[in-house]
Amino acid sequence: MNIKEKYGTKEMERDFGPVTFGSALESFRKCEELTLREFSARLEISVQNLCDLEKGRKVPSASRAAKIARIIGEPESYWIQLAFQDTLRKENFTFKVKIEE
């Protein structure tokens, strides 16, 4: 890859697949160097629930996604968008979600 080549969300999805709520949450946890137990305590959810979210077995509601975003100090709109996108993907819709504030 040329250093000057643009590498954004589209290129990342091309190389690694879609960004999901779970994959983003797991990446955040690992970047913070937190264990499942530590992160679940911070989010005030069970370890099993966190594991289900990270593995995509559960998709959070918009309000739950917003609460998680507030706890970790991230933009609510981004995490809500990921949750909505995952919900559509699970239903085999190919629509793209974009949330504007």
Per-residue pLDDT of 41-96, as tens digits, reads 999 999 999 999 999 999 999 999 999 999 999 999 999 999 999 999 999 999 99
Residue 3 in this model has a pLDDT that exceeds 60: no
Domain made up of 19-90: CATH architecture:
Orthogonal Bundle (1.10)
Report whether 77 contacts 97 (CB < 8 A). Answer: no
Name the CA dihedral angle for 89, 21, 61, 32, rounded to a multiple of 10 degrees: 170
Could you tell me the residue ranges of all domains in the chain? 19-90
Q: Model pTM?
A: 0.85
